Amino acid sequence: MKTAFKIKDVNGYYGESHALKDVNFEIGAKTVTAIIGPSGCGKSTFIRCLNRMNDLVPSFRLTGEMLHNGTDIYQKGRDIIEIRRKIGMVFQKPNPFPKSIYENVAYGLRIHGIKNKSTLDDVVEKSLKKAALWKDVKDRLKESALMLSGGQQQRLCIARAIATEPEVILFDEPCSALDPISTSKIEDLFSELKNEYTVIIVTHSMQQAARVSDFTGFFMMGELIEFDETKKIFTTPSNKLTEDYITGRFG
């Protein structure tokens, strides 16, 4: 299995507070990796480091190395725009742009200078198909994306992330604002997405992690307590804390 990310001695700080502590592990390419843990354990902080979204937080600081395909994401002089194009992200709350469905998906291409109408049409259709939304919206691409339901909006956000042809898609609790039916539609997508992309999901739901992921990392108080195959984590975890968490003794 190819390695997508190699995380080496990563420590993250918001001002004085130590949010990530000595995190070390590797994430395989074209797998689904779930990150679980109680609220405030650093799992969102961690995933937001992978495409440098934490740069938006002025007080955030990071030490250590985060290698993607062998080069450090945090290397001085790295082009953040290039990183974010390769490492897409889908957020907790569906956040479509207040534009048409078509323009939402095409936006990522337009900002990178692609204007050709037929290319855009192609990519929009392909991306919406991959996000299992094409059938729902193919006759109303010009309508505002804000008219869609929450679950459809989230699938639109996935299509939008796919459109720029990233290698990795990060999901930061993608289903926490959705109803069970929408959730299961998005969960179904993960197993298809991993054929082409490396998928990393932060989730509050252990059932979700167990259902969709190949590997699971368990974070607590900023530390990576355990990282292993999902099957092993949920059947024979090697750490007592992991066992307590997945059996619902806390969190």
Partner 1 sequence: MANKTNINVLWDKIFKVSGLIVTLLGLVVLAVLLIDIFSEGFSRLSWDFITHYPSRHPERAGILSSLVGTIWVMAITAALAIPIGVMAAIYLEEYAKKSWLTNLIEINIANLAGVPSVIYGLLGLGVFVNFLALERSIIAGGATLALLALPIIIMSTREALRAVPPSIREASLALGASRWQTVSTMVLPAAIPGILTGVILSLSRAIGETAPLIVVGALTYIPFLPESPITGEFPFISLAGLKDPFSVLPIQIFNWVSRPQHGFIVNAAAAIIVLLTITFMMNAVAVWLRHKYQKKIRW
Contact residues: partner 1, CB under 8 A? 51, 53, 56, 58, 81-82, 84-85, 88-89, 91, 93, 95-98, 107-108, 111-112, 144, 146, 157, 160-161, 164
Nearer to partner 1, 3 or 92 (CB): 92
Q: What is the DSSP string of 36-94?
A: E-STTSSHHHHHHHHTTGGGGSTTEEEEEEEEETTEETT-TT--HHHHHHHEEEE-SS-
C-alpha to C-alpha distance for 175 and 40, rounded to whole angstroms: 18
CB of residue 15 to partner 1, shortest distance in Å: 13
- For residues 72 and 9, give the distance between their C-alpha atoms in angstroms, rounded to a whole number: 13
Q: Is 139 helix (H, G, I), strand (E, B) or coil?
A: coil
Query: With respect to partner 1, which residue has the nearer C-beta, 59 or 75?
Result: 59
Using the minimum distance from each CB to partner 1, give the nearer residue, 104 or 242.
104
Distance CA 227, CA 78 (A): 28
Q: Identify which of residues 25 and 97 has a Cβ nearer to partner 1 in the complex.
A: 97
d(CA 44, CA 83): 18
C-beta of residue 159 within 8 angstroms of C-beta of residue 165: no
Q: Which is nearer to partner 1, 162 or 233 (CB)?
A: 162
Q: How far is the CB of 88 from partner 1 (least distance, A)?
A: 7
* Smallest distance, partner 1 to C-beta of residue 229, A: 29
Q: How far is the CB of 169 from partner 1 (least distance, A)?
A: 10
Closest approach, Cβ 51 to partner 1, in A, equals 6
Would you say 225 and 219 are in contact if contact means Cβ atoms under 8 Å apart?
yes
